[in-house]
Chains A and B, each alone.
Chain A
Amino acid sequence: MIRYWLEKTWVQNAILISLAAFAIYYCGWVFDFGYEFKWSMLFTRNETYGVVMGAEILKGLANTVRISLISSVLALFLGTVLGLARLSLFRPLRATATSIIEFFRNTPLLIQLFFWYFAFPAILPENVRDVLFSGQFEFWCATMGLSIYTASFMAEVIRAGLQSIPKGLLEAAYSSGLSYFQVLRTIILPLAFRAIIPPLGSEFLNNMKNSSLAMVVGVAELTWQAQQVESLTFKGFEATSAATVLYLSLSLIISFILNGVNGRMRLDTTPARSVPVLVVGALLAPFGLIRRMFVRPVTRALRARRRAAAQTTYTPLAAMLHQLGGHAARAAILAGKGLFLAVLAGLFYSVGKGLLGFKWQVVFDNLRALLIWHFPNGRPDEMFLGLGGLSYSLLMAVIAISVSFFIGLAVGVGRSCSNRVFRIPCLLYIELIRGNPLIIVIFWVYFFIPVMFGTTLNVFWSATWALTAFTGAYIAEIVRTGIQNVPAGQVEAAYSTGLTYLQAMRRIVLPQALKQMIPAIVGQFIAIFKDTSLAFVLGVLELTFVAQGINNRLMIHPMEIYGTVAFFYFICCYSMSVFAARLERRLSPEKVSLRM
């Protein structure tokens, strides 16, 4: 009976609308938040400080957009270079690229930013430092740090794209006489980028959200400004809401553009005339016009000249020159390799010398605190017998991933179901969480959940629940893709044997989908473990916070302490990612790996 009615779209819509109306009525008129809302403070001039708070937040938005745009472009470039280097036949280059990628992927961005800002200038010569400090050092430090971090993720995506190009295509290109750079420009990159636009797009989104971390080095971006407004007026709810709305709109705009780009670039289907595609087309039209008006005639003229030159006879002199040119190019490549090795050796030498010069005694003295804080001799006001440091971070990550697995499973199944009553709330949850940086989610959980539910929540649990809610949305997306990857015919067969939606999911789809999802979930676990470092803003005793406390007390050994912390994060994340890669190889059919 209920099922019959629930299958009708208008019933589903009616249920959703009445639920929304109830929620609005309940929050607006019945529920007592114990908090005085003052939305007008965003638009009116504050007398104490003489500024309009909303305008300050918009200034932050401008900075966020600036950082995101610049770092996206830089990251795309760097990521392409690293991705190509990762496939190079020259072993030292490949090894260097691999270690750069693995290092930056497997340490938290927060620690990297601390390093770039606080420790890196100390090892530069005085005059270089003065030049750096004369400009907007905060801004560029954050932007560069962010682009290197994003680039290391993009590099892996791009490498996968490059490897997906069929070998025969390359062989055909090389045998038709194209040089490496010609093949790269006309065959490899266009095809590879078409294949990887969706994963690359999510890296752009992550990049925008990660820009919120620029606040730790004092850049006045959106999160920073929201915090600033909160600390000036104590109207945190309003300020954070404004930031959330702005982040969401930014995310939506980026997704919209990426959809458009994806639709335009797709070769397999006829170009769909969807709204994003049309808008992106309109945006790109001026560039196309410029190209047609100015670039094309030039290339045409050049081509004509080349053809004319090719028709003249090939003299022995020209042949000799050509040969000499070939030798010169080979010599240059060899010299470049030599130079690269020399630079690498120099780098190793100076890093080694630096490492030996450090006072490692400091680290050994504090090793226990970094690993377990003072477990098991904690004071009564400490949780888990005084656990802290690395083990605390791990504990948070384990709790978050275990709980969020079930949230993700439920939401992911709900998201893929055709009934709107389930699909739309799940969709809202996923998009709301994924459209915001983790740090904003942490603030919401920490400050506002207790207000809503009238309970108190200590920092550990609020950070852990924030991580859980955040990861839940990502796992839901993993689940959804897993479900989509199961052939549709199986689902139809299941339905026709009389199974219900839930039965089909439980018996047919999920067992297969879950197996495929395992590597992605391990990947998510790595991400969440790195993200525990963000809990430091609340003062949770995890690794980053403990390290900061120790550094705060000693003051003079930041390199040693942050180096050790980075090492800890790296070891944990890297071993997990090796595990994930092995799982992936075991669970997926053999792939031919291809070198270029």
Chain B
Amino acid sequence: MRLVKLLALATALTALMASVAVAGPVFDRIQKDKKIRVGIMTDSIPGAFYNEKGEWGGFDYDMATEVAKRMGVEIERVQVNNKTRIALVQSGQIDLSVSNMTHTRERDKSVDFSLTYFFDGQKILAKKGQFKSVKDMVGKKIATMQGTTSEVNVRRALKEAGDPNAEANVISFQKESECFQALQNGRVAGWSTDASILVGYAAKTPGQFELVGDFLSDEPYGMAMPQDDSALRDAVNAAIQDMWKDGTYKKIYNKWYGPGTPFEMPLAGQIEIWP
């Protein structure tokens, strides 16, 4: 008899799980709970990182906080990295991913993106005075981070520059810090990713490393959201545009990339404003 009861209980449990699995549109849920779950990186300087005191902060961190504020909801920050930032949006565990992510068409098949909120481009960081352009890097090893657009771009750029062995010459690591360490200990001749990240690392060891050549590609950053939730997309886009209009965007930008900061970078574009 006990067994029968157990079986009945198991069936009931599975039925219960099935009913939980159905979720409503994301925007309605955010408004109802007054809470938005935002994925933010933890190891991207100065995008989002832990400082000396172990405090979380950075450009993306401030942007995410501001967007949530303007949507009038509380923010719940979730730590993500280059591997988890898209999968978590897909599986609905986060509602918004502000994690220096380039807006690409391939990614757009799986998640939706906001307006471009940051304008970046990919470059190569190398020891000072060794290389002039990408052509000089042919046959040399280059580090990238796995699961990023830079990985695909740098392979393509090397192939275009005439490297027959481009596939093997690009080594993909899991973290930015690992790429930089490989560059420091001489395993790779260059490290390629978005210029804003490279500038941050180059500032750690002033005078040793420099950016090589032109931009390999444009990297427009967008905030990722679950597919097909137009109300959420509108709300996020409106928040970004309002920030640009009233000068909050410039303030945040100057805090991290403005003149006098270690990561100084001129603002390269303008956020699209809808009247």
Question: Which A residues are closer than 8 A to B by beta carbons?
Answer: 2, 6, 26, 30-35, 48-49, 117-119, 121-122, 129, 133, 137-138, 215-218, 220, 224, 227-228, 230-234, 236, 369, 373-374, 379, 381, 446-448, 450-459, 537-539, 548-549, 551-553, 555-556, 558
Q: Does B152 contact A (CB under 8 A)?
A: yes
State which of B17, B78, B152, B171 has its C-beta within 8 Å of the C-beta of A453: B17
Contacts of B20 in A (CB 8 A): 453-455
Q: Does B230 contact A (CB under 8 A)?
A: no
Question: Which B residues are closer than 8 A to A by beta carbons?
Answer: 1, 3-4, 14, 17-18, 20-23, 37, 42-43, 45, 49-54, 56, 76-84, 86-87, 90-93, 105-107, 109-111, 141, 143, 146-148, 152, 171-178, 180-182, 184-187, 201, 204-205
Q: How far is the CB of A512 from chain B (nearest CB, A)?
A: 26
State which of B49, B50, B107, B174 has its C-beta within 8 Å of the C-beta of A234: B107
State which of A230, A537, A549 has its C-beta within 8 Å of the C-beta of B43: A549
Q: How far is the CB of A177 from chain B (nearest CB, A)?
A: 54
Q: How far is the CB of B15 from chain A (nearest CB, A)?
A: 10
Contacts of A549 in B (CB 8 A): 42-43, 49-50
A555 and B21 in contact, given A218-B171, A374-B54 (Cβ under 8 angstroms): no
A234 close to B83 (CB less than 8 A): no
A232 close to B174 (CB less than 8 A): no
State which of A2, A227, A459, A551 has its C-beta within 8 Å of the C-beta of B1: A2
B21 close to A32 (CB less than 8 A): yes
Q: How far is the CB of A445 from chain B (nearest CB, A)?
A: 12
Q: How far is the CB of B261 from chain A (nearest CB, A)?
A: 16
B49 close to A218 (CB less than 8 A): no
Give Cα A370 to B173, complex, Å. Answer: 24
What are 10 A-B pairs with beta-carbon distances under 8 A? Answer: A129-B186, A216-B178, A218-B143, A227-B83, A234-B86, A234-B106, A451-B91, A454-B17, A457-B93, A539-B79
Give Cα A368 to B19, complex, Å. Answer: 45
A233 close to B83 (CB less than 8 A): no
Contacts of A447 in B (CB 8 A): 84, 87, 91
Give Cα A366 to B61, complex, Å. Answer: 23
A553 and B45 in contact, given A453-B20, A458-B78 (Cβ under 8 angstroms): yes
A215 and B50 in contact, given A34-B21, A118-B182 (Cβ under 8 angstroms): no
Give Cα A133 to B148, complex, Å. Answer: 25
Which partner residue on chain A sits nearest B50 by CB separation?
A549
Give Cα A232 to B110, complex, Å. Answer: 11
Give Cα A66 to B51, complex, Å. Answer: 41
Q: How far is the CB of A588 from chain B (nearest CB, A)?
A: 38
Q: How far is the CB of B34 from chain A (nearest CB, A)?
A: 15
A539 and B21 in contact, given A122-B185, A374-B54, A551-B177 (Cβ under 8 angstroms): no
State which of A33, A232, A373, A552 has its C-beta within 8 Å of the C-beta of B54: A373
A231 and B185 in contact, given A451-B91, A454-B17 (Cβ under 8 angstroms): no
* Most chain B beta carbons < 10 A, residue from A234, A373, A455, A458: A234
Give Cα A540 to B30, complex, Å. Answer: 25
Contacts of B3 in A (CB 8 A): 2, 6
Q: How far is the CB of B43 from chain A (nearest CB, A)?
A: 5
A456 close to B146 (CB less than 8 A): no
B180 close to A555 (CB less than 8 A): yes
B185 close to A118 (CB less than 8 A): yes
7 shortest A-B CB distances, which residue pairs? A231-B147, A454-B21, A552-B177, A234-B110, A218-B171, A555-B204, A456-B93
Give Cα A286 to B82, complex, Å. Answer: 49
Q: How far is the CB of A521 from chain B (nearest CB, A)?
A: 28
State which of B92, B107, B177 has its C-beta within 8 Å of the C-beta of A548: B177
A454 close to B87 (CB less than 8 A): no
Contacts of B77 in A (CB 8 A): 381
Give Cα A539 to B187, complex, Å. Answer: 25
A539 close to B177 (CB less than 8 A): no
Give Cα A319 to B196, complex, Å. Answer: 80
Give Cα A595 to B182, complex, Å. Answer: 45
B185 close to A121 (CB less than 8 A): yes
Contacts of B182 in A (CB 8 A): 117-118, 218
Which partner residue on chain B sits nearest A549 by CB separation?
B50
Which partner residue on chain B sits nearest A421 by CB separation?
B3
Q: How far is the CB of A23 from chain B (nearest CB, A)?
A: 9
A454 close to B186 (CB less than 8 A): no
5 new A-B contacts, CB < 8 A, other than A30-B18, A216-B178, A231-B82, are A2-B1, A31-B18, A118-B178, A233-B106, A447-B87
B185 close to A215 (CB less than 8 A): no
Q: How far is the CB of B185 from chain A (nearest CB, A)?
A: 5
Give Cα A232 to B83, complex, Å. Answer: 11
B186 close to A133 (CB less than 8 A): yes
Which partner residue on chain B sits nearest A234 by CB separation?
B110
State which of B43, B187, B205 has its C-beta within 8 Å of the C-beta of A552: B43
Which partner residue on chain B sits nearest A386 by CB separation?
B54
Give Cα A133 to B146, complex, Å. Answer: 21
Which partner residue on chain A sits nearest B2 by CB separation?
A2
Give Cα A538 to B175, complex, Å. Answer: 12
B50 close to A553 (CB less than 8 A): yes
A555 and B90 in contact, given A2-B4, A49-B152, A453-B20 (Cβ under 8 angstroms): no
Contacts of A374 in B (CB 8 A): 53-54
Q: How far is the CB of A34 from chain B (nearest CB, A)?
A: 7
B110 close to A552 (CB less than 8 A): no
Which partner residue on chain B sits nearest A550 by CB separation?
B50
Give Cα A455 to B92, complex, Å. Answer: 9
Q: How far is the CB of B42 from chain A (nearest CB, A)?
A: 6
A454 close to B23 (CB less than 8 A): yes
Give Cα A161 to B84, complex, Å. Answer: 45
Which partner residue on chain B sits nearest A220 by CB separation?
B172
State which of A32, A121, A553 has its C-beta within 8 Å of the C-beta of B187: A121
B174 close to A537 (CB less than 8 A): yes
* Most chain A beta carbons < 10 A, residue from B18, B54, B204: B54
A446 and B84 in contact, given A227-B147, A553-B49 (Cβ under 8 angstroms): yes
Q: How far is the CB of B243 from chain A (nearest CB, A)?
A: 22
Q: How far is the CB of B190 from chain A (nearest CB, A)?
A: 14
Give Cα A232 to B147, complex, Å. Answer: 7
B204 close to A138 (CB less than 8 A): no
Q: How far is the CB of B35 from chain A (nearest CB, A)?
A: 11
Which partner residue on chain A sits nearest B3 by CB separation?
A2
